[in-house]
């Protein structure tokens, strides 16, 4: 952000010069002169514009996250993993039909293994069609009763497209009855959870899956292990 700091310095210097001139009784160029200095600086250093926009976006993201932090970080049943008393919480919005979500599984698993003070909360946002909706409802039914959400969650992603047969196969593999889960997944509480997740995603500007919230930072897409690890480290510092 050196460019932004320099711009602020230029504007501040101009204002200071104006104050000295006023005290000395000298003519003052005024607001137009200051605006001209800033204008010329921006033209000479256009790279500061995206830097400034990124900083503004990060600030707006932090405000939106803070407003919904409790709702974001409170898991539905057992749809979470990691520390019970975390210093850092990572929230992942995902869809079982999303290949990029599947590709992010090893990154999240590695973060959990390397950070004992980390908690990961999964939020289901089924945006990729009817199979996604059916899978999300069954997954939340699993999360609602017992502690087999994580093996089901991993198994369903690893199995590929979450059609009815795949969901049944994965449910059976973790010792659950797919038919019973499908019925439980139609419950009002699960409908409310999906609606709440979708509303949270909308307020945060989530445009697709996966999306991550770590501390005050929002990351969109399969950003990879390094970016997620940096976000966790930054959140821990703050």
What is the DSSP annotation of 176-200? --HHHHHHHTTSHHHHHHHHHHHHH
How many CA atoms within 13 Å lie on the side-chain side of 107? 21
What is the DSSP annotation of 159-182? H-S--HHHHHHHHHHTT--HHHHH
Give the torsion sign (CA, 16, 20, 23, 25): negative
- Of the candidates 95, 84, 86, the one whose C-alpha atom is nearest the C-alpha of residue 126 is 95
Which residues have C-beta within 8 Å of that of residue 229, sequence separation ≥ 6?
111, 114
Q: How much is the CA Rg of the chain, to the nearest whole Å?
A: 24
Q: What is the largest CA-CA distance in the chain?
A: 86
Structural domain boundaries of the chain? 2-46, 69-237
Give the torsion sign (CA, 167, 132, 105, 183): negative
pLDDT in tens, the chain (238 residues): 444 344 444 444 444 444 444 444 444 456 777 777 777 777 776 666 666 655 555 566 656 677 788 899 999 999 999 999 999 999 999 999 999 999 999 999 999 999 999 999 999 999 999 999 999 999 999 999 888 999 999 999 999 889 999 999 999 999 999 889 989 999 999 999 999 999 999 988 888 999 999 998 999 999 999 999 999 999 999 8
CATH superfamily, region 69-237: Glutaredoxin (3.40.30.10)
């Amino acid at each position: 952000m050196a460019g932004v700091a320099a711009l602020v310095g230029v504007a501040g210097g101009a204002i200071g010069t104006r104050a000295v001139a006023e005290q000395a009784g000298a003519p003052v160029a005024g607001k137009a002169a200051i605006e001209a200095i800033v204008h010329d600086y921006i033209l000479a250093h256009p790279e500061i514009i995206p830097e400034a926009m990124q900083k503004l976006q990060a600030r707006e993201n932090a405000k939106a996250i803070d407003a919904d932090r409790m709702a974001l970080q409170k898991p539905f049943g057992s749809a979470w993993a990691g520390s019970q008393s975390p210093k850092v919480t990572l929230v992942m919005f995902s869809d079982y039909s999303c290949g990029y979500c599947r590709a992010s599984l090893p990154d999240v698993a590695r973060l959990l293994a390397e950070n004992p003070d980390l908690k990961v909360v999964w939020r289901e946002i089924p945006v990729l069609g009817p199979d996604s909706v059916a899978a999300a409802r069954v997954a939340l039914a699993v999360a609602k009763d017992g502690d087999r959400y994580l093996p089901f969650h991993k198994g369903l992603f690893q199995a590929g497209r979450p059609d009815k047969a795949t969901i049944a196969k994965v449910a059976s593999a973790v010792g659950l009855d797919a038919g019973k889960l499908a019925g439980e997944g139609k419950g009002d509480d699960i409908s409310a959870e999906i609606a709440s997740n979708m509303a949270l995603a909308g307020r945060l500007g989530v445009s697709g899956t996966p999306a991550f919230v770590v501390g005050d930072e929002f990351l969109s897409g399969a950003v990879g292990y390094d970016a997620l690890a940096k976000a966790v480290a930054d959140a821990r510092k703050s």
